[in-house]
């Protein structure tokens, strides 16, 4: 647990040591707070960004009070690369650092922390920044966990898709992903999961927003029917800041799983999410110039 917290502190420190001068942000220098907020809530926008998801989860099931909590810090980097005037390649690598209770054979629990399985979602997305925006691609999963209990020990892959609507006051969207394992440790359970992350934000011109952005409906097709589905609903608020002039968005969200695994699954989730824009390294299309 202590090691996990130190890792989180180190990531936060790195998060705020990237260049901060206003002239380093040509993508946002002339944009309003509302427009920057819209782009930060669009998973396939043309902003380069780093996102820290800090998650506190209360679990259900036959477990002791001290083991009823799991912690997750998820580092996600958004890297949009313009391929042509109308098409972008979006890469969103995800690095999870977690501390979770692990069931033992004797019925008790142990707590373990460290790095989980790294994922690499990639999308081909329309370069449109308003209205209806689509994207299709794939997600790769790597058995990178520092402990067998923190990951699947499987290589996985599968299709994904994004649909987003960016309007004058609302940003509404969904990301759907299917993952299957295709290699890895034979003694571990195969991976076959579906996830649907949905979001809906009402955005005020001042940069304030209210809505939801992190609830993810999940289905584990390898689990028994009573433990297959997780369906959360939630609510959150957020605000765009400039510290001192760099664009940073801070969100607080909470969700409750109205459907959850009976044996061992999430019940309540509380999120602190920090998004930070950083300068685009590739601003002109790679092809068709």
Q: What is the distance of C-alpha 265 from the center of its chain?
A: 19
Q: Which DSSP helix (H) or strand (E) runs through 13? A: helix 2-15
- pTM comes to 0.88
pLDDT tens for 225-280 read: 888 999 999 999 999 987 766 788 999 999 999 999 887 788 899 999 999 988 88
In the chain, the DSSP E strands lie at 49-61, 69-82, 87-91, 94-103, 109-115, 118-126, 131-142, 154-166, 170-184, 192-203, 208-212, 216-220, 229-242, 247-259, 264-277
- What pLDDT is recorded for position 244? 62
Beta strand 87-91 with 192-203 is: unpaired
- What class does CATH assign to 2-277? mainly beta
| Annotated domain spans of the chain | 2-277
What is the CB neighbour count within 10 angstroms for residue 77? 14
pLDDT tens for 189-216 read: 999 999 999 999 999 998 899 999 888 9
pLDDT tens for 57-98 read: 988 766 655 567 889 999 999 999 999 999 999 999 999 999
């Amino acid at each position: 647990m202590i090691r996990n917290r130190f890792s989180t502190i180190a990531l936060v420190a790195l998060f705020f040591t990237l260049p901060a001068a206003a002239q380093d942000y040509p993508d946002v220098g002339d944009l309003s707070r509302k427009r920057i907020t819209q782009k930060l809530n669009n998973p396939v926008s043309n902003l380069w960004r780093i996102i820290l998801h800090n998650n506190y989860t209360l679990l259900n099931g036959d477990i002791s009070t001290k083991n009823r909590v799991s912690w997750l810090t998820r580092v996600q980097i958004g890297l949009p690369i313009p391929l042509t005037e109308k098409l972008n390649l979006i890469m969103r690598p995800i690095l999870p650092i977690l501390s979770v209770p692990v069931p033992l054979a004797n019925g008790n629990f142990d707590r373990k922390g460290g790095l989980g399985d790294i994922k690499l979602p990639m999308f081909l997305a329309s370069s449109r920044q308003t209205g209806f925006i689509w994207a299709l691609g794939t997600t790769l999963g790597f058995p990178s966990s520092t402990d067998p209990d923190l990951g699947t020990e499987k290589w996985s892959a599968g299709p994904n898709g994004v649909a987003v609507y960016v309007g004058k006051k609302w940003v509404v969207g969904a990301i759907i992903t299917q993952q299957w394992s295709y290699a890895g440790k034979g003694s571990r359970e195969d991976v076959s999961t579906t996830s649907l992350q949905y979001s809906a934000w009402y955005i005020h011109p001042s940069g304030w927003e209210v809505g939801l952005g992190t609830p993810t409906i999940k289905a584990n097709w390898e689990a028994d029917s009573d433990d297959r589905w997780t369906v959360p609903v939630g609510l959150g608020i957020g605000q765009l800041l400039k510290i001192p002039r760099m664009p940073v968005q801070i969100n607080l969200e909470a969700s409750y799983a109205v459907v959850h695994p009976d044996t061992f699954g999430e019940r309540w989730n509380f999120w602190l999410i920090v998004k930070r824009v950083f300068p685009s390294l590739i601003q002109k299309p790679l092809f068709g110039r």
